[in-house]
Structures are given as C-alpha cells and as structure tokens.
Structure 1
Amino acid sequence: MKKENVVIITPCFNENTTVIAFLKQIEEVAGKLPFLFEVIVVDDCSSDQTLSMLQKFSFVSENITLTILPLRFNVGHQSAIYQGLLYAQHLDADKFIIMDSDGEDDPEAIAELVKFNDYDIVNVARGRRKESISFQISYYVYRFIFKIITGKILNFGNFCMIKKKVLETSCHTSFIHFAAHLSKQKVKSTSITFNRLKRIDGKSKMNLTSLVHHAFKSFVEYAEELLMVFLRIFILVILLFFGIIGVVLYKKLFTDEAILGWASTMTVNLFTAALVCVGFFVMGILLLNMISRRNQNKTEIFVKLAEKSELLNQN
C-alpha cells in the first residue's frame, strides 16, 4: 500500500544551528510514522550561515525529504509562510503542516495531526507558555480584545494542519496573519492542545513590541468586522448627539427651563467622537481597498529549483 504524503512547511530567518536542531527533532517524530514527509524550509533571505547549513543537512530516515526554498529578499515571517504555501500547492499531498522552526512548536504534535482525516483545519492550541509574566498578561489582553471585536477565540498560532483545499484558498486570497486568516475559513475545523516549548536557543524573538505588531495584523484580517464596530459606535454617537440637540431646542423654544450647563460640552464631545468614528470608517474603507489590491498580487519570490545550487554556492 502506498504511503500518504504529508508536507511540513516551516519559515526561518537567521536560525543557524537552531533550525538544524529543529529538523532533527522533526525526524525523531516523523521518522517513526507510516507517512512520506517532505519538509519545506522557507529561508527568508537569511544573512548568516543558515542557508549553507541547510544545504549540508540531510535526513537519515528514508521517509523524509528536505526541500530548501530560499527567498530572493526578506519578506517577514507571515509572507514567508505564504511563499511556502504557494510552492506546496503544486505538490501531490492533501495534508500540510505549518509550524515555526525555532523549536517552540512541539514536534510531538505531528504524530497527532496526521491522524485527522475528516477535518480541513486542525489547529494546535497553545497550552502553557514559557514567556515572562508581563508578556503572558499582554497576550491574554490581546486575545480578550480580539474576541470582543471578532467574536472568535484565537488561542492558536501558525502551528496547524490544513487540507489541500484550505491551502489553495489561502494561496488565492493571501493573508498577513495566518492564524486569524484560518479562523475566518468556513470549513470543518478542530484543535488539539500542546504546550508551547522554550525556543531551542533560549532567545525568543517575540517581545511586547512584536506582539503589538502581530495583533495589528490579526485585526487587519478582520478589517470588515472592525469597520462594523466603528460604524455601530458612530450610529450610537449620532443618535446621542441629535438626542441632546433635541432636548436643548425643546427647552429653548417650548419651555422656560434653563438649558443644562453640561449640554454644550456634551454636544461638542459627541460631535468630536462622531468625527473620529467617521475618520476610522474612512480609513477602514481604504484598508479594505488595500487588502483587495494585495489579494490580486500573488507573486512567487522563491528561487526556482534550477537556480538553487547557484544561489547556495554564492552563500
């Protein structure tokens, strides 16, 4: 019986020995499984020895092959994942696992992910994390705000398994935040939970600033929902504004009562709030337009197979 093909996609940037240690961890798990694995390492134009180290590495297990996908220029973590998906869409496989190469995503989860056949998306939800208390608090605050705005619980990152049709959808629409993008897909999905491990070299690249940038990108994926939030706020503010105006005019024209002292201040504040909401609404429309234009640009920037050896020799 022919073994099923499984593709693992992992982006890396200036990882050096970390990515090699990660690949060995992958082999310890995948080498024992009855599947044929192709591991695609998307090198995001590393400026150190990462690429040359990858060139020298090879798996011992016969059921695992390594594909190195060097990018022509640095595009960032999420775009590197996208380039990996663009490449993988042409491969003969139906299960695609996406995970980070720094060791924080537990390779043991692979053995569980490949068992799922009836789900289009299987996310690896994060259990315990090994970050600082301040980072964990900020992360939970971000998740809370995300749930308030979108109604979704985002308790997972890039680590997941997706079926071919989800991969093709992701390639067609593109994204800037993979996890938020997956949370919007109207397909059959589930999740498993694994603890977030400590980075192999012990130096996490994610800090509070990176978390804020990461959060902004997740909200961009839900730009339409965010736009509706400001639209609802704008409608509420306008109703309050005209309500106060109506009360003031009624008292002035039809009664002898004094106009409340705070009425003018409240009116000005509500008008200002309405202008702010309109500003956010206009920016939201522009953002949606930018997203639409972005989705029309699906350029492959990885180096073709025929060009790889020349590029690797240069490094």
Structure 2
Amino acid sequence: MELLSIVVPCFNEEATIPIFYDTVEKIKGQIDAEVEYCFVDDGSKDNTLAILRDLNKKSGGVVRYISFSRNFGKEAALYAGLQMAKGNYVVTMDVDLQDPPSLLPEMWQILHNSDTDYDCVATRRTTRKGEPQIRSFFARLFYKIINELSDTEIVDGARDYRMMSRQMVDAVIQDSEYNRFSKGIFSWVGFHTKWLAYENVERSAGETKWSFWKLFKYSIEGILAYTTVPLYLSSVMGILMCGVSFIALVFIVIRALLYGDPAAGWPSLVCIITLLGGLILLALGIMGLYILDSQNT
C-alpha cells in the first residue's frame, strides 16, 4: 500500500495540534493509503513539543516529529518536513485547519485518476473573509507585482497546502537555497498542477503568528527571489547617471570657458560623484546578472 506523508510546521500551536490530529484521523479512512504525520516544531515556547512526543507514543510511531533549537521560520520548517517525509505522496498543510483536511480525499483521487497526469494538487483561496482589509489589499497587490515582474507565475490566493508526487517533492528538495519562498519554488519546478479553490476558513484555535511586518518581509524576499528586474533596474540607473553626469561635465566646461566659474570646483565635484555612483550601480547590476547566469547554467 502507498504511503501518504502529511508535513505540518508548528510554532506555538499547543491548542491546535490535538484538534488537527483528531480531524485528519476522521478523514484518513477515505484515502486508500497509509498515513504518516511529519510535524516540525519550529522552536516553540509552549507545550507543542510535549504534545508531539505524546502523540508519537500513542500513535505507535505514525506521528513523527523533529524539533528545532530555535525559531527558524515556516520556510525552514517546510523544507525540513519535506526531507523527513518518506511517502510516495506528500501533503504540506497548516495545523490551524485553515487548510481544510476535508479536501484531502479529493486531492488523493485527482492524483490517482488514470485520465489525468497531475503531479500536484494545490489549493487557492477565493476569498479573504475574516482578514483585515489592509492585509487583504497588500496581499492582492503582492500577487499583482510579482506576476508582473517575474516569469514564474504565482497564483493569486495560493496556499502552501498541496499534495505532491514523490517526483515533485524530490525536485523541490533539490532546490536548497537559503532564503526560500515555497510558493515560488512549487511553481518554478514546473510540474503539472491542478488547482482547487475554496473559501477562507478561520483558525480553529490560537492566534496567527504572521504579523503585517513579517508578511511584508516575506513578500519582499519572494519578489527578489523570483525576478531579475532589480538587477536590470540597477544597470539602467547606472547608465542614466553616467549619461547625466557626462552631459553636466560638458556643460560646466563650456560655461567655464565662456563665462568663468563662479563656484569653482563645486559643480565638477558633484558631476564626478554622480559619474562614479553611476559606474558603481552599472557594475553591480552587470555582476549580479553574471552571477545569476552562472547559477542557471
């Protein structure tokens, strides 16, 4: 029988883990596979680790876990969970039940439908009901910006909740970059994906660990990781600054020859500084593009 691994990052989730486990246990009978749980304790300060130890003993090893020495973030926890998973198929999902376990049987059936050749079934939210409006606005803005700047398409409302074949999981694991952006990695590896839409679900218990500032930093990392526009922008700005400084220097020389220089040295100094700044920006942009090309070959 095939094995399905459920990868679940946890950070201070003592209130949600038992609810999550009981909910999935009620549903897993609808899936024709053995199920293992791969929990990752991301340096929790509450009783998360104690609860996972207890579940490990009660389940006879079906519940497996690892515990970080400190909080490294959800991306690191997801990566560690994928490395730990042994299943023929792997699901990544949140423990707070905002990723509905009720979708698991449907995801399993789609991947095992002989009429399709999907390697992944992913989910996306069609609504953001219950979220602050300002947070929803910036979330939609993020997807618009990254899809305009990047060649890697990030589906609006995409969640990390997805079921993947072993082949796709191995491809994701091979991408071992330090600053990870899983939504981009899942799309970048390029496997055939079926999308399931659902309406936003409130947390089953506890509070979200994602503050506005954390989400903002995460979005910046995602944009920088999957677009070369900033590198080209640096090069273009460098060329423009060099051009402006050269024109200004010519103007200053001609004016000095014709009318003298009322502020001796100052205009030329500004132009030289601008020229050097432009050359530096141009060099940085070119070096960045060379480094990127060397990594892609």
Please confirm whether the aligned pair reaches a TM-score higher than 0.5, indicating the same fold: yes
Contact 2:56/2:64, CA 8 A, preserved across alignment: no
Amino acid in the other structure paired with 1:71: F
Q: 1: distance between equivalents of 2:239 and 2:68?
A: 50
Q: Deviation per CA, 1:15-68, whole angstroms, max 9, x where unpaired?
A: 112111111222222233322111111112322111112222379999x93222
Contact 1:5/1:95, CA 8 A, preserved across alignment: yes
Residue segments in structure 1 that go unaligned for 5+ positions in a row: 254-263, 293-315
Is 1:76 the counterpart of 2:70 in the alignment?
no
Map 1:49-68 → 2, pairs under 5 A: 49-57=47-55, 65-68=62-65
Contact 1:27/1:59, CA 8 A, preserved across alignment: no
Amino acid in the other structure paired with 1:214: Y
Q: Secondary structure at the match of 2:204?
A: coil
Aligned-pair distance for 1:145? Answer: 1.2
Q: Secondary structure at the match of 2:163?
A: strand
Aligned-pair distance for 1:279? Answer: 7.5
Q: 1: distance between equivalents of 2:149 and 2:141?
A: 12
Aligned-pair distance for 1:191? Answer: 1.3
Contact 1:25/1:107, CA 8 A, preserved across alignment: yes
Paired residue for 1:165?
A: 167
Paired residue for 2:261?
A: none
Q: 2: distance between equivalents of 1:145 and 1:126?
A: 18
Is 1:185 the counterpart of 2:182 in the alignment?
no
Contact 2:154/2:184, CA 8 A, preserved across alignment: no
- Aligned CA-pair RMSD: 3.8
Amino acid in the other structure paired with 1:50: T
Paired residue for 1:212?
A: 216
Which 10-residue stretch deviates more, 236-245 or 102-111? 236-245
Contact 1:20/1:54, CA 8 A, preserved across alignment: no
Q: How many residues align?
A: 269
Q: Secondary structure at the match of 2:35?
A: strand
Aligned-pair distance for 1:105? Answer: 1.1
Amino acid in the other structure paired with 2:218: H
Cα gap change, 1:287 to 1:26, in 2 (>3 Å): farther
Aligned-pair distance for 1:239? Answer: 6.4
Map 1:126-165 → 2, pairs under 5 A: 126-129=125-128, 130-151=130-151, 152-155=153-156, 156-165=158-167
Q: 2: distance between equivalents of 1:154 and 1:275?
A: 38
Q: 1: distance between equivalents of 2:52 and 2:141?
A: 38
Q: 1: distance between equivalents of 2:236 and 2:277?
A: 11
Q: 2: distance between equivalents of 1:271 and 1:140?
A: 39
Is 1:87 the counterpart of 2:91 in the alignment?
no
TM-score of the two chains, using structure 2 as the length reference = 0.75
Q: 1: distance between equivalents of 2:287 and 2:205?
A: 41
Cα gap change, 1:247 to 1:271, in 2 (>3 Å): closer
Identity of aligned residues (%): 21
Is 1:108 the counterpart of 2:105 in the alignment?
no
Q: Secondary structure at the match of 2:12?
A: coil
Cα gap change, 1:120 to 1:33, in 2 (>3 Å): closer
Paired residue for 1:234?
A: 235
Q: Deviation per CA, 1:269-300, whole angstroms, max 9, x where unpaired?
A: x96994685476379569969xx7xxxxxxxx
Amino acid in the other structure paired with 2:124: A
Amino acid in the other structure paired with 1:168: D
Contact 2:41/2:49, CA 8 A, preserved across alignment: yes
Cα gap change, 1:272 to 1:215, in 2 (>3 Å): farther
